[in-house]
Amino acid sequence: MSYLEQFKVRPGSAVRLKDVDPAFKDHHQSREAAEKEIEQYRKRLLELQEMLYVERRRSLLICLQALDTGGKDGTIKHFLGAMNPQGCRVVAFRQPSAEEAAHDFLWRVHRAAPERGEVVIFNRSHYEDVLVVRVHNLVPKHVWSARYDLINSFEQGLSENGTHVLKFFLHISSEEQLSRFRDRLDDPTKQWKISEADYKERSYWDAYMAAYEEALSRCSTECAPWFIIPANHKWFRNLVVAQIVVEHLQTLGLSYPKPTVDLARIRRQYHQAQKAAAAPGVPADRTS
């Protein structure tokens, strides 16, 4: 079974994250063993992204959600390293600004959606408004509970207008999160990421799990599926996400557009210029 099917949340299913092993790595024993496969998907991803970009008929939105240290930044780095940044953009959603808070919760999200030919990666997303908002009681329950249907309608609208939506929950264990916090403390290049709030949020672990389970269960649709990615092993996370994106793009029948010029005429002009350049006594400036 391909990862596209293996890790997809079936529409209408009830998600139990305790049933998903975040340390799962399939038959791969190590990053070194999987490196060749990872590189193949990265190369194929670049090819498909180029066709999406020049075709200019469709777009791709990738939503990344995870708890702190879950690997959103690492996944983004993996994607940007594989794709041409000319057609790829990252949007990070933090606490809403005064202007954003003055609109409905989807206003800032819709403004950031990809244009045709573009790949956009959301680092966190509109799902924060049914996750952190719910866990910390930032709005009443009747407000956030109504947002699941609004989100589904929003994503359906994107799909109907040619935007393909893939959503990834990067699933790590509580123990792995604590280990990554320790790594940040010990690594001077990562200490800038440390926040006291990260440790305080750990006390809400069960509440976040419940919030994610409901969001994954209620908002995985045929047009905008959720995927639960075992993310304790960073290399396996990258492999799975890359394979899913590649396999989805391959279903679109992407192709390069047909030329808009007369190729036979252009070839004749080329051959004439080539003959002129080869003729004796032709000034150098006439061969350029």
Residue 79 and residue 134 share a domain: yes
Q: Is 88 helix (H, G, I), strand (E, B) or coil?
A: strand
Cα–Cα distances in Å, from 193 out to 1, 157, 180?
A: 37, 36, 11
**Average pLDDT across the chain, whole number:** 93
Considering the entire predicted model, what is its pTM? 0.91
Residue 228 and residue 86 share a domain: yes
Cα–Cα distances in Å, from 218 out to 5, 132, 166, 262?
A: 18, 17, 15, 52
Q: Which two tokens stand for residue 149?
A: 């249907």
pLDDT value, residue 281: 63
Residue 267 and residue 145 share a domain: no
Strand partners, 171: 230
Q: Starting at the earlier edge strand, list the strands of the sheet with 119-123.
A: 88-92, 119-123, 59-66, 163-171, 226-230
Residue 223 and residue 199 share a domain: yes
Residue 159 and residue 276 share a domain: no
Residue 248 and residue 265 share a domain: no
Residue 138 and residue 279 share a domain: no
Residue 277 and residue 217 share a domain: no
Residue 112 and residue 235 share a domain: yes
**Closest-CA residue to 127 (of 155, 102, 162):** 155
Residue 238 and residue 216 share a domain: yes
Residue 247 burial (10 A CB sphere; 0-12, 13-18, 19+): middle
CB 52 within 8 Å of CB 117: yes
If pLDDT is split at 50, 70 and 90, which confidence band does 196 have?
Answer: confident
Residue 271 and residue 180 share a domain: no
How far does Cα 81 stand from its chain's mean position?
A: 13
What is the domain range of residue 277? 261-288
Residue 273 and residue 195 share a domain: no
If pLDDT is split at 50, 70 and 90, which confidence band does 288 have?
Answer: very low
Indicate whether 284 pLDDT > 70. Answer: no
Give pLDDT tens digits for 91-109.
Answer: 999 999 999 999 999 999 9
The count of structural domains within the chain is 2
Q: Which two tokens stand for residue 14?
A: 């009830």
Can you give the CATH number for the domain in which 151 is found? Answer: 3.40.50.300
